[in-house]
Amino acid sequence: MDILKQTIGHNYDEQPYLKLFLHNRLTKFDLSLVKPTSQLAAIKILLERCDKIKELVITDVNNVAFQDCQLALLSINFIKELSFNDKSFSSLVIPCCCITKNLFELLVNFKSLKKLSLMLPVNLDLDTLTILISSLTMLQELSLIPSAIDFENFTGDVKFNNILNLNISSTKVSDEGLSNIVRKMPNLASLALCHCKQLTVECFNHISKLENLSSLNVSFIKLFEPCMIEIVERFLMKQGLKLKKLDLSGIDYLNLNLLARCCPDLEELNLQGCQHFKITWIKKSELMANREHTKFNHLKPFKKENYSLVEVFHRLQTFYFSWNCHVTREQLQMFFRGNENSIRNLKLLFYVQDDDCYITTYFFNTFYFKNLKNLSIIYNGFLPVADVYAIIRSYPYLNQLDLQGCVLDIQDIEDIEDIIYETKSKINILFQE
């Protein structure tokens, strides 16, 4: 696909190159990688030559080319051909403008479909969706975004026990609608509710009924008052031990000590934009008093009285954190002291005040993430370029350094590129345009 993307990016006649890459052995195709002017040709060739495709992305959601009715119609014809010719088709992503009653009738033929992403129109009949999901008995991953559906009429006795992953982010799902979803999809292991503005804190009472849940995204839902966080904390105390991935971005007043004690096996944690959080040293007595204290065997024997977050989160590989307030150096110690080796992906927003303008210097001089692969830094001012030099030299095996959130002048960028050349580093650095 990388070769396809690079080749079909020139202004000369592309169709010979399309025919070269769209061969009979192709099993995965992303139409959004093809220039809009060539998408019609690509679909025609796919119709003629590709009968083994198992994964198809029709288009990027923002691709204006699909305003072309002819292109949408050809796509539906292509899907029709796939539904008759290939019973092992496994993954499909379809844009909103293609969603019609006829398309739903075609999709029921994909009996082996395991992953389906539909960008739903406003006027979708939920009965039609129910019939479709009921027909796809091997379907495990379902994405229905974005949508104006509140799922309050998503009723009936039929359950979809095969659905394990559900993404309904940016939909208008209500608390009642979420209750219906939880009842009809009781085996969900992953649930994404990002930017679902109609949900209230009561949604956690419904989510807590999902006994197999290991991944949860409830970022940027409405939690405005400190008293509401108590319901979130009760949920974490009940379900936290099972969670591997958790996104609480935009939720304020979090007690991070409680989060660590309840969810010690987290592998991914996103706390971007969380304000008024509470953090102190995690005491040995608190860990030993936990009802599942065996989860902290990695700390035994408890030689210290106080532990940091990453010491308790000993499996944490991906950590995204931004603070919109002044964080002291001692608080940074409470986050990162003692077990930085597990973290591979790190995204940080440094909030800088005049009296602490070199917080990044302190951070990277104090903590070293031995296995770090991807680092993203967001800064509310001019990032000291010396810190970038230090990062490049300290992390020669870093795959990507994202500085798009930092203010750097042209000379700084040129100097950074010189350092990369001198050190023979293979780091891919992203700068702000």
CA angle 191, 193, 195 (to 5 degrees): 160
Total number of domains constituting the chain: 1
CATH of the domain at 71: 3.80.10
Rounded to whole angstroms, the Cα distance separating 349 from 274 reads: 11
The tokens 């096996």 sit on which residue? 265
Which pLDDT band, with edges at 50, 70 and 90, does 397 fall under? confident
User: What tokens appear for 374 in the block?
Assistant: 């991807």
Cα end-to-end span (Å), the chain: 26
Q: Which amino acid is at 36?
A: P
Percent of the chain scored above 90 by pLDDT? 22
The tokens 């979803």 sit on which residue? 181
pLDDT at 361 over 60: yes
pLDDT at 425 over 70: yes
Domain interval for residue 111: 1-139
pLDDT at 85 over 50: no
pLDDT for 383 equals: 73
Which pLDDT band, with edges at 50, 70 and 90, does 21 fall under? low
pLDDT for 193 equals: 95
- Asked whether residue 104 is domain-assigned, the answer is yes
pLDDT at 333 over 80: yes
Pairing of strands 282-283, 306-307: antiparallel
Q: In sequence order, which ranges of 109-168 are alpha helices (DSSP H)?
A: 126-135
- Asked whether residue 123 is domain-assigned, the answer is yes
349 burial level (CB within 10 Å; 0-12, 13-18, 19+): middle
Rounded to whole angstroms, the Cα distance separating 138 from 89 reads: 11
pLDDT for 206 equals: 95
| CA nearest to 174, candidates 156, 145, 190, 154 | 154
- Asked whether residue 101 is domain-assigned, the answer is yes
Rounded to whole angstroms, the Cα distance separating 298 from 264 reads: 10
Rounded to whole angstroms, the Cα distance separating 322 from 379 reads: 10
- Asked whether residue 21 is domain-assigned, the answer is yes
Rounded to whole angstroms, the Cα distance separating 264 from 295 reads: 7
pLDDT at 103 over 70: no
| CA nearest to 359, candidates 393, 384, 396 | 384
- Asked whether residue 131 is domain-assigned, the answer is yes
**Average of per-residue pLDDT across 37-54:** 61
- Asked whether residue 429 is domain-assigned, the answer is no
pLDDT for 375 equals: 92
- Asked whether residue 18 is domain-assigned, the answer is yes
Contact 207, 182 (CB under 8 A): yes
- Asked whether residue 233 is domain-assigned, the answer is no
Numbers of helices and strands, H then E, in the chain: 16, 17
User: 291 forms bridges with which residues in the sheet?
Assistant: none
Contact 331, 306 (CB under 8 A): no
User: pLDDT tens for residues 193-232?
Assistant: 999 989 988 999 999 999 999 999 999 987 767 777 888 8
410-423 and 385-394 helices cross at what angle (nearest 10)? 20
